[in-house]
Amino acid sequence: MTSVGAAPGVAEIAERTRAFVRDVCLPAEQRFPGPELDRGLRAELQAAAREAGVFAPHVPVEFGGRGLDISGWSAVFEEAGYSLLGPQALNCAAPDEGNMHLLEIVATDEQKERYLRPLAAGDVRSCFAMTEPHPGAGSDPGALATSARRVDGGWVIDGEKRFISGADGAAFSICMARAQEGATMFLIDAENPGWQVGRPMQTTDTVFAGGHSEVAIRECRVSADAVLGEVGEGFGYAQVRLGPARLTHCMRWLGLARRALDIALDRAAQREVFGSRLEELGLAQGLIADSVIDIEASRSLIRWAAGVLDRGSHGRHETSVAKVFVAEAVWRIIDRSLQLTGGDGVTADLPLARFQNEVRSFRIYDGPSETHRWAIARRASRVRAGERETSPD
């Protein structure tokens, strides 16, 4: 039990989040038919989350958050993900949450005040710009083509980006470009005339604030202090961001998969076919049991990987394993839930078809399943060959 005056622990914040999602986010979904979260609704939900004491669980206390570690996030983010609106309400949605984590670790004190503080407070949004059109960076970041050249007093950046979540409406971007010394991260303000947000890309999902856009970067001048971390260390920092970021997607989408199963369980308890309730028929029970197994296995992998990250490792192997399994498991769980609800499942009367559209692209972003499987298999072969006794980092 929490003593009077003590900061609430993970279990208490998770429980508060569960109640907040049930009482505030689920009713608000009626006002969010998609395709994009209304700015006013986001601000309203964030104010309510602050009031409920669940805002920014992942953010350090000095920046207004709850200061939980990554293992703590896993319990709370799963609860938040039960509603499509939960992560936005708690300010723990992608890409902002990953950017906050990166800024906390890599940014200078001045950069933290300028970029992290307003982002953590929910006053602004941000984006992360890595992916490029062919033949540039995609699943192979090594193909990074956006260039950064030194000029008097700073840098000039040129290139094309696409699929940049939240670029439309973001106050700033963390942008990856190739300098002579190697890949480098730059903080680019949205009002920089060289940062030109272009065509919104029509994807199947709707919950990312600002959608996903193409961006043209034309003669984009930034000052020397726009470099995030060290010049040439961009790929290393990408690992700092992407390991936790792919795991937090797993946490949030697991919450949504649980919701899908709950919808199916309600239906299976009520619907009678062939003289039995659906929940009593063996083939339906098989679908339910397989989803319960997928949920438990996903949660275990997430907590295993989170523990590795909390111990200071990059957790490349563990986050890859968790990402592949959870991205595919949440799809299976939602698909089985849809099947159990019959024709209603594919209508807009139930949210299941929409949930499928929301989660499908998770098997592609933050590393496609094939890229992760390829990396996992190569590590396994290296371990077998005795190059390393444990997973490399």
Ligand X SMILES: Cc1cc2nc3c(=O)[nH]c(=O)nc-3n(C[C@H](O)[C@H](O)[C@H](O)COP(=O)(O)OP(=O)(O)OC[C@H]3O[C@@H](n4cnc5c(N)ncnc54)[C@H](O)[C@@H]3O)c2cc1C
For ligand X, the binding residues (CB under 6 A) are 95, 127-131, 138-139, 163-165, 203, 205, 212, 361, 364-365, 368, 370-371, 374
Cβ contact 320:367 at 8 Å: yes
β-sheet bridge partners, residue 149: 156
- In the complex, the smallest distance separating the C-beta of residue 197 from ligand X, rounded to whole angstroms, is 12
- In the complex, the smallest distance separating the C-beta of residue 362 from ligand X, rounded to whole angstroms, is 8
User: Of the two residues 297 and 364, which places its CB atom closer to ligand X in the complex?
Assistant: 364
Q: For the beta carbon of residue 272, count every other beta carbon within 10 angstroms.
A: 9
β-sheet bridge partners, residue 228: 185
Distance CA 153, CA 283 (A): 68
* DSSP per-residue letters across 186-251: EEEETT-TTEEEEEEP--S---STT-EEEEEEEEEEEEGGGEESSTT-HHHHHHHHHHHHHHHHHH
The residue type at 17 = T
Cβ contact 170:210 at 8 Å: yes
- In the complex, the smallest distance separating the C-beta of residue 167 from ligand X, rounded to whole angstroms, is 8
Distance CA 313, CA 309 (A): 5
- In the complex, the smallest distance separating the C-beta of residue 141 from ligand X, rounded to whole angstroms, is 8
- In the complex, the smallest distance separating the C-beta of residue 136 from ligand X, rounded to whole angstroms, is 8
Distance CA 131, CA 139 (A): 8
User: Of the two residues 98 and 255, which places its CB atom closer to ligand X in the complex?
Assistant: 98
User: Of the two residues 111 and 361, which places its CB atom closer to ligand X in the complex?
Assistant: 361
Cβ contact 219:193 at 8 Å: no
Q: For the beta carbon of residue 375, count every other beta carbon within 10 angstroms.
A: 16
User: Of the two residues 165 and 337, which places its CB atom closer to ligand X in the complex?
Assistant: 165
The CA dihedral of 71, 125, 95, 249, to the nearest 10 degrees, is: 50
Minimal CA–CA distance to 242: which of 147, 320, 152? 320
User: Of the two residues 163 and 186, which places its CB atom closer to ligand X in the complex?
Assistant: 163
Contacts of 387 (CB under 8 A, 6+ apart): none
User: Of the two residues 66 and 249, which places its CB atom closer to ligand X in the complex?
Assistant: 249
User: Of the two residues 164 and 288, which places its CB atom closer to ligand X in the complex?
Assistant: 164
User: Of the two residues 203 and 337, which places its CB atom closer to ligand X in the complex?
Assistant: 203
- In the complex, the smallest distance separating the C-beta of residue 392 from ligand X, rounded to whole angstroms, is 17
- Closest-approach residue to ligand X (CB): 138
User: Of the two residues 371 and 391, which places its CB atom closer to ligand X in the complex?
Assistant: 371
Distance CA 328, CA 363 (A): 7
Identify each DSSP E strand in the chain by its residue range: 126-129, 147-151, 154-165, 172-179, 182-189, 195-200, 212-223, 227-228, 272-273, 276-277
- In the complex, the smallest distance separating the C-beta of residue 265 from ligand X, rounded to whole angstroms, is 29
- In the complex, the smallest distance separating the C-beta of residue 171 from ligand X, rounded to whole angstroms, is 15
- In the complex, the smallest distance separating the C-beta of residue 371 from ligand X, rounded to whole angstroms, is 4
